[in-house]
Structure 1
Amino acid sequence: MNTVPGVVLVYQISTSSFPSSKRQRRMKWWRSWLHAATVLLLSATGVKVEHLQAENLHLLPPNDQSKVLNSEMKVLPRDCYEMLMASSGQARDGVYLIQPHDSPIVAFCAMQEGGWTVVQHITVNSSVNFDRTWNEYKNGFGDVNGDHWLGNERLHQLTRGPARYKLGVKLVDQDAVTKMGEYDPFLVEGESTAYRLRLGLFQGTAVDALTLDTENYLHDNQKFTTKDRDNDNYFQNCAKLEFQGVAGGGWWYDACAGANLNRRNVIYWQKDCNKERLCKYAWMMVKPSDTVKVIYSGDSKKDEL
């Protein structure tokens, strides 16, 4: 049992007079009571005894769970940007607990870039397999410190409001040239719609590969497709189609793709990233939108999106 300097726990349980079955039940009850009392006492003395609680703890290796940067916070931020604001801009890059819905989750926060919540990261020829099932894409996989998919349900929880969110895409090619793009607003609908993608206006140095119909593929308004759930507009399942022996992975396919950041052998983003112009890394990140206009009308004023 854990001990605390200056705190002595003394207990004695006499069970000899109980029948065997009753004795076992009584001992079980005492052990439960004693554990609860010990936790309460240690907490009161400032000793941290609780385990890290997160709905997606499978995305963080056990050896890294002690490195969560805000594990002591009592009231968790909704996203990484709120965490950055709570720290007066001093928070550093790393893994944080956030709470976009009912339960906490772990996520990597790109604080130096402005408080983005990373929802996807991939390295070309990654050791992480992105050829996953519907439930794996729903709940997330990989390692939030490296290559991973945070999960479609997390994307829905983050972007459904009350704040309006935008999507950031970051691409780095083999020559270390970085291109960025933003879609504002950005929304992933719930599972009942197959996590349908909703995108707003695009700006950035990368090409618009999700809403601009340069290759007759429109990913905006598409449902999510995985190898075991075909929601695309092609006669075959786009997530199963292979290139050099590697399947496409889950994505918001049309028929099939003008962009796909979940194929681990070739990161595809139209003319910016493809099999001729190789990219080494890609990120998808979300952040509250800053496109809010304040309109003044006489003595009254209102915010309009």
Structure 2
Amino acid sequence: MEWRCWLPAVATALLLCMTEADKEHLQAENLSLLPVNQHNKVLNRGMKVLPRDCYDMLIASSGTARDGVYLIQPHDSPIVAYCAMQEGGWTIVQHITVNSSVDFDRTWDEYKNGFGDVTGDHWLGNEHLHQLTRGPARYKLGVKLVDQDAVTKTGEYDPFLVEEESTGYRLRLGLFQGTALDALTLDTENYLHDNQKFTTKDRDNDNYFQNCAKLEFQGVPGGGWWYDACAGANLNRRNVIYWQKDCNKERLCKYAWMMVRPSETVKVIHSGHCRKEEL
């Protein structure tokens, strides 16, 4: 559990402390995920004290921050990320469009560091996922699925943790709630993704006799994922987004998102006092 107390004056100062750094070259560890012609669209460029995540940025703005690309700093170095502020300050860690032009058939290092475009289809990076979810706050994972009829289903896992690289970026998930099916922690088809290591085409950590990331459907490999043997869900298969009965070969989905935010936070109280908010 993390406690945060933000006075309105402090929040305003943090948001408005723009300096000459705004005119300098943008610094971010994953800057390759933002096209050069989009660098000027980073909404908190020049901020002296960077937020840890998008929810921190929302609090720093007293709830006025808008959707878009922000610099955040979950660990030592800043990174760019897309923030869904209108939905409550979620940090987008994955977005995919069916038949995306972004190739999700990537190596271990590419999944580690991230690829794609944070304003569109992308994977933020397993190392950044680890740094975001390692604490001190407890984090939760949000999933959003949109099918061909524009029907949206959502789900949340609380808590959510991606362990360090030495564990294979093992996935740890808590309780599920939502309108989507629980495709990661319920062993409904002998596929249990919780507690699995991440697998890519060049690093096989799954429980199948073949590499699940290499298995093709209509000529397209599965992409990196926390496979079992192989998958009850896979949001990185770009020709068929897969999530049990919600998204599959018969029920096509157009888009999928994965996002994270703290599961317990503290509201801004204008009197300057803090109190816990259960989300």
TM-score bracket relative to the smaller structure: 0.7 to 0.9
Structure 1 residue aligned with 2:174: 200
SS at match of 1:185: strand
Pairing of 1:169-180 with structure 2 (within 5 A) = 169-180=143-154
Is 2:25 aligned against 1:56? no
Instruction: Give the one of 210, 213, 216 matched to 1:239.
Output: 213
Q: Say which of 248, 258, 279 aligns to 2:232.
A: 258
Match of 2:67? 93
> 1:290 Cα deviation (Å)?
2.6
Instruction: Give, in angstroms, the shift of residue 157 of structure 1.
Output: 0.2
Q: Which amino acid aligns with 2:67?
A: D
Aligned to 1:75: 49
**Helix, strand or coil for the counterpart of 1:284?**
strand
1:70 and 1:245, CA in 2 relative to 1: closer, same or farther beyond 3 A?
same
Query: Rg bigger for which structure?
Result: 1
The separation in 2 between residues aligned to 1:176 and 1:303, in whole angstroms, is 32
Once the two structures are superposed, residues 54-97 of structure 1 have per-residue CA deviations (whole angstroms, 9 ceiling, x without a partner) of 00000000000011000021000000001001111110000000
Pick closer, same or farther for the CA change 1:220–1:46 going to 2, 3 Å: closer
2:141 matched residue in structure 1: 167
Pair 48,219 (structure 1): closer, same or farther in 2 beyond 3 Å? closer
Q: Which amino acid is 1:277 matched to? A: R
Distance in 2 (CA, whole Å) between partners of 1:268 and 1:140 is 21
How big is each residue's C-alpha offset from its partner over 1:32-65, in whole Å with a ceiling of 9 and x where there is no partner?
xxxxxxxxxxxxx958542100000000000000
Alignment partner of 1:209 is 2:183:
yes
Tell me whether 1:128 sits opposite 2:102 in the alignment.
Answer: yes
Cα distance in 1 for residues equivalent to 2:124 and 2:89: 16
Partner of 2:162: 188
- Structure 1 range deviating more: 46-55 or 178-187: 46-55
Match of 1:140 among 114, 137, 147: 114
Distance 1:106 1:47 in 2: 16
Residue matched to 2:7: none
Give the partner amino acid of 1:163: A
Q: 1:147-166 to 2 correspondence within 5 Å?
A: 147-166=121-140
Aligned mates of 1:95, 1:232 — CA distance in 2: 34
Q: Secondary structure of 1:136's partner?
A: helix
Secondary structure of the residue that 1:187 maps to in structure 2? Answer: strand
Superposition map of 1:285-300 within 5 A: 285-290=259-264
Higher relative contact order (CA 8 A, sep 6+): 2
The whole-number CA distance in structure 1 between the counterparts of 2:33 and 2:117 is 5
Give the structure-2-normalised TM-score: 0.87
Please list every run of 5 or more consecutive structure 1 residues that lacks an aligned counterpart in the other structure.
Answer: 1-44, 293-301
Q: 2:224 aligns to what SS in structure 1?
A: coil
User: In 2 relative to 1, CA 240–76 (structure 1 residues): closer, same or farther, beyond 3 Å?
Assistant: same
Q: Which amino acid aligns with 2:53?
A: D
Distance 2:115 2:203 in 1: 17
Change (3 A) 1:116 1:230: same
Alpha-carbon distance between aligned partners in 2 of 1:103 and 1:290, rounded to the nearest angstrom? 24
% identical aligned pairs: 89
Partners of 1:189 and 1:50 lie apart in 2 by 34
Aligned residues: 251
Is the 2:22–2:45 contact (alpha carbons within 8 Å) kept by the matching residues of 1?
Answer: no
Secondary structure at 1:112's aligned position in 2?
coil
**Structure 1 residue runs of 4+, over 2 Å off?**
45-49
Instruction: Kindly provide the amino acid, as one letter, of the partner of residue 212 in structure 2.
Output: C
Is 1:275 equivalent to 2:249 in the alignment? yes
Cα offsets for 1:191-245 (capped at 9, x unmatched)? 0000000000000000000001111100000000000000000000000000000
